[in-house]
């Protein structure tokens, strides 16, 4: 049963992070338009039909969602009733560079969770994320001023984070928030065992997102074909990392007609890595 989707609302970013796997996949990212209100209609229909009490939508994907903020506002307004009732919970993840007070207030008023991508230590973050540390930290403080607490944060774990494990964990400890660590993949990627070792240490001191049929990149099990869909490029994909596998389904397909026929496999491993 599908209870979560991620929707990529644009293919644009104002950073060019060294490890960004969307840039590595640029050949597969097209600007095929999607009527996102139609996707939201399909989600509302699916929720009603299956009496789903809690459905999660991530407005995340191939780019930086804040660069399409007016459109994002339209989508959030369109599901505002469901957000208010808690039937839908929504989140977005930002690189933290282009945010304003008005944007953060709007997201707060509509119960949309905002995660900031920050890779811990300034030197490490700046090396991989285009020297954006100071700007991101100042917008994290702006978020705290508006919300009275620090936002959730997303950190990509590569060799430099591993080399600074203790200092990185201490960095995140100061915020007393929820941290999602994801394994760096692609040409600069680290092994699953290195990532697991890091996660074990991080979990001892931090509120870390883990577990469940989600994604091995975040320390969970692979949820491919179980409960999650990824919308981008005018199509529906197994997940954001599978857009280069070529088997997309038209974006406006009713959710209960979407099937990727994922064969049985050991879900401690990544579906894509297991079959390609
Ligand atoms: S901010 Fe995100 S989408 Fe943009 S380049 Fe960096 S990793 Fe890629
Ligand atoms: S296929 Fe790989 S990247 Fe996609 S959800 Fe599964 S573990 Fe994550």
DSSP for 5-26 reads EEE---S--S---TT-HHHHTG
Cβ of 17 below 6 Å from ligand 1: yes
Residue 5's beta-bridge partner residues? Answer: 57, 229
Task: To the nearest 10°, report the CA torsion of 98, 103, 107, 110.
Answer: -160
Does 28 score more than 80 pLDDT? no
> Residue 11's pLDDT is what?
87
Q: Is the CB of residue 15 less than 8 Å from the CB of residue 132?
A: yes
Does 44 score more than 80 pLDDT? yes
Mean pLDDT of 87-104: 97
> Predicted confidence band at 214 (pLDDT cuts at 50, 70, 90)?
confident
Q: Give the ligand 2 atom nearest the CA of 238.
A: 4
Give phi and psi for 34, each to the nearest 5.
-125, 140
Neighbours of 157 (CB within 10 A): 24
The mean predicted confidence, pLDDT, of the chain is 94
The structure tokens 């660069």 sit at 67
Does 23 score more than 90 pLDDT? no
Mean pLDDT of 44-49: 98
pTM: 0.94
Domain that holds residue 20: 4-275
Residue nearest to atom 7 of ligand 2 (CA): 270
Least confident range of 4-8, 125-129, 210-214: 210-214
Q: Looking at the 3D structure of the chain, how many domains does it have?
A: 1
Cβ of 22 below 6 Å from ligand 1: yes
The pLDDT tens digits for 181-199 are 999 988 899 999 999 999 9
Q: Measured between alpha carbons, how far is 236 from 243 in angstroms, rounded to an integer?
A: 9
Cβ of 6 below 6 Å from ligand 2: no
> Residue 236's pLDDT is what?
96
The structure tokens 């984070």 sit at 161
Mean pLDDT of 127-148: 98
Does 25 score more than 70 pLDDT? no
CATH code at position 160 = 3.20.20.70
Q: Which ligand is nearest to the CA of 272?
A: 2
Q: Give the ligand 1 atom nearest the CA of 21.
A: 8
Does 16 score more than 60 pLDDT? yes
Determine how β-strand 228-232 pairs with β-strand 4-7. parallel
Most ligand 2 atoms within 8 A of CB, residue of 22, 222, 227 to mutate: 222
Does 29 score more than 70 pLDDT? no
Neighbour-count burial of 96, counting CB atoms closer than 10 A to its CB (0-12 exposed, 13-18 middle, 19+ buried): buried
Q: Measured between alpha carbons, how far is 210 from 182 in angstroms, rounded to an integer?
A: 10
Percentage of the chain modeled with pLDDT above 90: 83
CA of 23 to the centre of ligand 1 (A): 8
Q: Answer with the residue of higher pLDDT: 213 or 94.
A: 94
Which H or E run contains 157? Answer: strand 152-157
With H, G, I as helix, E, B as strand and everything else as coil, classify residue 114: strand
Q: Measured between alpha carbons, how far is 33 from 27 in angstroms, rounded to an integer?
A: 17
């Amino acid at each position: 049963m599908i209870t979560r989707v991620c929707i990529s609302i644009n293919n644009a970013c104002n950073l060019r992070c060294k490890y960004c796997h969307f840039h590595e996949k640029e050949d597969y990212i097209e600007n095929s338009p999607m009527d996102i209100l139609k996707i939201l209609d399909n989600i509302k229909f699916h929720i009603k039909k299956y009496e789903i009490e809690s459905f999660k939508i991530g407005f995340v994907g191939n780019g930086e969602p804040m660069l399409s903020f007016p459109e994002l506002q339209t989508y959030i307004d369109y599901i505002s009733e469901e957000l208010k009732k808690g039937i839908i919970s929504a989140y977005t993840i930002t690189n933290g560079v282009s945010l304003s007070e008005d944007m953060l207030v709007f997201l707060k008023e509509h119960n949309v969770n905002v995660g900031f991508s920050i890779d811990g230590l300034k030197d490490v973050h700046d090396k991989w994320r285009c020297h954006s540390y100071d700007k991101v930290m100042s917008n994290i403080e702006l978020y705290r001023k508006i919300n009275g607490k620090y936002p959730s944060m997303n950190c990509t774990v590569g060799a430099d984070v591993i080399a600074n494990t203790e200092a990185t964990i201490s960095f995140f400890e100061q915020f007393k928030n929820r941290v999602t660590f994801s394994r760096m993949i692609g040409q600069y990627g680290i092994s699953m065992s290195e990532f697991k070792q890091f996660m074990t240490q991080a979990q001892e001191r931090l509120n870390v997102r883990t577990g469940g049929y989600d994604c091995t990149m975040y320390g969970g099990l692979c949820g491919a074909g179980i409960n999650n869909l990824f919308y981008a490029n005018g199509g529906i994909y197994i997940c954001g990392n599978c857009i280069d596998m070529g088997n997309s389904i038209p974006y406006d397909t009713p959710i209960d007609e979407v099937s990727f026929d994922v064969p049985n496999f050991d879900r401690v491993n990544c579906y894509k890595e297991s079959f390609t």
